[in-house]
Amino acid sequence: MKKLLFVFAIAAIGSLASCKKDYTCECTILGVSTSFELEDQKKGDAEDACDALEAGGSECELK
């Protein structure tokens, strides 16, 4: 029974770590800063989306 409770607790903590959140991707293009809201994203997906915005000489950072 204790092992089952332990496994359940680990699974619950793991599911919290993969929650979707809102992120902001801040980009600077030719000295002008712009922010893009990324809603309900997992961190990896938000990083990929922010990296995709880095085109044509812009620099973007996920916050």
- State residue 29's pLDDT score: 86
Amino acid at 34: T
Does residue 9 lie in a domain region? no
Q: Domain total for the chain?
A: 1
Range of the domain at 55: 20-63
- State residue 4's pLDDT score: 47
- State residue 33's pLDDT score: 93
- State residue 13's pLDDT score: 56
Return mean pLDDT, the chain. Answer: 80
Total residues belonging to the chain: 63
CA gap 52, 55 in Å, rounded: 7
Q: Is the backbone of residue 38 left (phi > 0), alpha (psi -120 to 50) or beta?
A: beta
The per-residue pLDDT for range 14-28, each reduced to its tens digit, is 555 568 899 999 999
Residues in the chain, pLDDT under 70: 1-18
HSE (side-chain half, CA atoms, 13 Å) at 53? 21
Does residue 2 lie in a domain region? no
Does residue 59 lie in a domain region? yes
Does residue 10 lie in a domain region? no
